[in-house]
Structure 1
Amino acid sequence: MSYSHQDREWLERLSLHLAVLERGALVYVWSDTRIAIGANWEEEIEKSLGGSKAAILLISPSFLASDFIWNKEMPL
């Protein structure tokens, strides 16, 4: 999932709703919260987005204003 960190509460809410699908192996929900401490986070985001079949975008004013999202995530 791509989101603005200012909208983390919404990420947590949606993740809770998707947990039953993930538990049943129907989906794999990935967000930057899965990146290990010390890992190259830009590389991890690029690898995950590049290997995904679908993406969920949590669009908000903060999302639309994010240079990182527009410059790094959206082109993928």
Structure 2
Amino acid sequence: MTRKLFISYSHADADLLGELRVHLRPHERNGVIEPWHDGYLIPGDDFDSEVRKALAESNFIALLVTPRFLASDYCVDVEMEDAVRRHLAGEARVVPIIAKTCGWK
């Protein structure tokens, strides 16, 4: 069964997202995961609605944690907050990936 994976990241860390995607690709190819990040949106999409929808439908939520991620109000206040809520409710599993040294707890 394919599991949906939501990837939360700061746009300033797009290079790290690319590296993560390389590592995930074999699992995607084998049908284990179906990754999603906001790079799949097209101009004209309602950013906030589409992000929240994808987040709500995900089985796993990867947080690509860096200082820039933690500096982003949207990453922390919307994506991470909802991810942790869903994790605590047993609806999804949050996987923090500490990609750069930062003040993560």
TM-score under structure 2 length normalisation: 0.69
Are 2:81 and 1:75 equivalent residues in the alignment? yes
The structure richer in strand per residue is 2
Letter in 2 for 1:61: P
Task: Report the counterpart of residue 59 of structure 1 in structure 2.
Answer: 65
Residues 23-62 of structure 1: matches in 2 within 5 Å?
A: 23-62=29-68
The counterpart of 1:2, out of the listed 4, 8, 11, is 8
Identity %: 37
Task: Tell me which amino acid in the other structure corresponds to 2:81.
Answer: P
Larger RCO (alpha carbons 8 Å, 6+ apart): 1
Stretches of structure 1 that go unaligned for 5 or more consecutive residues are none
Instruction: Name the count of aligned residue pairs.
Output: 76
Q: Which runs of 4+ in 1 moved over 2 A?
A: none
Q: CA RMSD in A?
A: 0.9
When normalised by structure 1's length, the TM-score is 0.93
> How many Å separate the matches in 1 of 2:81 and 2:64?
16
